[in-house]
A = this chain, B = another copy of it.
Amino acid sequence: MDFKVWHLGIKSGGKQIIVVDNEDASQLGIHSSDRVEVTYKNKQIIAITNVAEEFPKGTLGIYSEVYDKLKVQNGETVTVRPAERPESIGYIREKISGRRLRAEEIKAIIMDVVERHLSDIELASFVTSLYIRGTSIDEVEALTKAMVETGQTIDFGKGPILDKHSIGGVPGDKTTILVVPIVAAAGFTIPKTSSRAITSPAGTADRVEVLCPVDLTCKEMRKVVKKTNACLAWGGALDLAPADDLMIQVEYPLSIDPLLLPSIMSKKKAIGADYVVVDIPTGRGTKIKTIGEAQALAQEFIELGKRLDMNIQCALTFGEQPIGYAIGPALEAWEALSTLMGRGPIDLVNKAVSLAGLLFEMMGIKDGTQKAKDIIKSGEAEKKLRQIIAAQGGDSKVQPEDIKIGPETVEIRSEDEGRVQWINNRAMAQIARGAGAPKNRGAGVLLNKKLGDKVAKGDVIYTIFSENSQKLDSAVQLAKNLNPMGITGKFGEKMLIDRIPSKKVSYEKPFILER
């Protein structure tokens, strides 16, 4: 059936969508979410149908993604016919029914994900059934390999390639900005890619961007790595395992994460990583609540690593409070830089040298942690970070005090006295986001006290930074409602944690999807 094209000027963010009137759809025998084949001259694409009511008859509304592929102008004629259902939908149905999928079936699904042949409904159903039915290690391996094979891979032309990854969930975790220069300063190659925040107040890419550009092409990334042995790049524009990014768009509204392992490991495999330390923050307020869960997850990482020819070490780390004192892109960049200059908090230093130390020990170095400490102490790590900043196009002479923070601030004071007994990670993250992070780079929270610190009534316990007073006010309001820090004289003096129903507190979703 022929249609006149109407370019709607809307970009869906990847999906190839066409809009037709419901009478035309019924003529074609198609429904919303059905796939159609759109032909223009010698070009042909598969698109997903949105059926509209009261849309002009005989007109095919096209999103920009369709325009980009077909280069068809307004008013020109295209031919539309129902497309065959992709085979992969049959495999999704099998997964819904509980069958383990074979590698080639998983490959077919992932290819159709990347080629945008699947609708949100089909993707959501697939992700839900992966979550409910679970995935065997064979399926996890196949998912990971399919994600790698359907994307870009980078060969740095030298080896071995080292890498680190945190499964996230702890605010203020700027450890990567320390580990990468420490490892590179020892002569190893560590081409690190990171994500921006989705639901957290800062991702590593957001933090590093305060110091230098992170939005590198593959070519630029290779150049930086050649020069410095390392990089701190944003992974989002590199097209590494693009299926993962598309799956996250569905996992996010559902707050489920069945693709955690393939998601992380496909990005590592795509840059050719040989040795990887995976940080699993553990404890109350993190994604992984117990040591038992953490150990089980670690075993899966290690087994999957073997199947992908990667050597994996998992580090279970204490995650029950933010790392260091700073939360928010600029505050964290400031703290990371200060720490490499010798003025950092003990937990941040300890976490960084532990993780770098594990990588060193995997490379056969004895007492890797001591070596990592020495590299910070000698100034080599700072020097390496400045090289990376310069290579990525930033100011290598940047000083902590150059980093723009705030300027609007409020100090939050304790109404109790005693010691800090608990800090609510999620509440702290939410306050920092309320203040404007990660979008407003200078916004965030600076802790003045951490777990175990002595607090007198009226002491400043944390400070909120914002770039505008309205957001500052709303962050202060959040701080009042969420009460993110527990201060008591002695354990046991305050046994009441909460009452239910309690005063209405609107938490953000209890799930952090950062990878």
Q: Which residues of A contact B (CB under 8 A)?
A: 8-13, 19, 22, 26-27, 29, 31-34, 50-55, 61, 64, 84-85, 93, 96, 98, 119-125, 127-129, 131-133, 198, 249-250, 252-256, 433, 439, 506, 509
Contacts and interface: CB of A to CB of B under 8 A. Distances in A.
B250 A29 contact: no
Contacts of A250: 121
A124 B120 contact: yes
Nearest to A249: B32
Majority-rule SS of A interface residues:
mixed
B54 A11 contact: yes
A224 B98 CA distance: 49
A132 B123 CA distance: 16
A254 B125 contact: yes
Nearest to A97: B132
B22 A55 contact: no
Contacts of A120: 33, 119-121, 124
A32 B50 CA distance: 16
29 contacts: A8-B10, A9-B54, A10-B50, A10-B52, A11-B55, A13-B32, A13-B51, A13-B53, A26-B439, A29-B433, A29-B439, A31-B198, A33-B253, A34-B253, A93-B254, A93-B255, A93-B256, A96-B128, A98-B132, A120-B120, A120-B121, A121-B121, A121-B124, A124-B124, A124-B128, A125-B125, A125-B254, A129-B132, A132-B132
Contact of A54 (B64, B85, B198): B64
A253 B122 contact: yes
Given A10-B50, A27-B439, A121-B253, 13 more contacts: A8-B8, A10-B19, A10-B61, A12-B50, A13-B22, A26-B439, A31-B253, A33-B249, A53-B64, A98-B132, A120-B124, A125-B125, A125-B127
Nearest to A53: B11
Contacts of A31: 198, 249, 252-253
Contacts of A198: 31
Contacts of A29: 433, 439
Most B Cβ at <10 Å: residue of A52, A93, A254: A254
Given A52-B12, A132-B133, A509 B124 contact: no
Nearest to A440: B27
A51 B198 CA distance: 15
A152 to B, nearest CB: 20
B509 A85 contact: yes
Contacts of A131: 96
A368 B124 CA distance: 49
Nearest to A436: B29
Contacts of A61: 10
